[in-house]
Amino acid sequence: MPSPRYWREIPSRYRLEATRCGNCGRVSHPPRGVCPACCGTDAQNLELSHEGKVVTFTVVHVPPGDFLMEAPYVLAVVETPEGARMMIQVADCDPASVEIGMPVALEFRLIRKEGKSGILCYGHKAVPAYPRGEEEGADLESREMEVAHA
Ligand SMILES: [Zn+2]
């Protein structure tokens, strides 16, 4: 059976729910009734953007038994625009290509099978996100060219 913790966290796993403290503005994910920063109890529900950036990360070479992914894989702390931070796997990329500050999209994916029961657990994974619109990229390139010529 999936762990009690898994069931308890389903709403936040499935919808990327968080809370924002009405007192100090701290965003918590998973949601918390009591603010970890100021102990305020005026928590407002918030759905996070499905995007963020890598704050820090580690490459895992020996995964826990029931995870489906193959090592090595990247486990990162990702921060959303709302200021929530979460520990999440970065999928669909070469671990060597992951860097701090890298933009990612948060996608709903199959995470693992739990034990021998084979129950499938779903959650979010981060995948590399690329800048929207080619114009932005072109601008950046031409700026880099200018720097190179200077
Ligand atoms: Zn607070």
For the stretch 20-46, pLDDT in tens is 999 999 999 888 999 999 999 999 999
Q: Are residues 79 and 137 both part of a single domain? A: yes
0.75 cut: is pTM over it? Answer: no
Strand ranges for the chain from DSSP E? 17-21, 27-28, 43-47, 51-60, 73-79, 85-90, 103-114, 119-128
pLDDT, position 13: 59
Dist. CA 43 → ligand 1 center (Å): 8
Those residues whose beta carbon sits under 5 angstroms from the ion ligand 1 are 21, 23-24, 26, 35, 37-38, 40
Q: Are residues 73 and 19 both part of a single domain? A: no
For the stretch 40-86, pLDDT in tens is 999 999 999 999 999 999 998 887 766 656 688 899 999 999 999 99
The enclosing domain of 124 has a CATH number of 2.40.50.840
Question: Which residues form the domain of 106?
Answer: 50-150
Q: How far apart are CA 90 and CA 77, in angstroms?
A: 10
Q: Hey, what long-range contacts does 145-149 have (CB within 8 A, 24 or more apart)?
A: none
Dist. CA 72 → ligand 1 center (Å): 37
Q: How far apart are CA 138 and CA 134, in angstroms?
A: 6
Dist. CA 83 → ligand 1 center (Å): 13
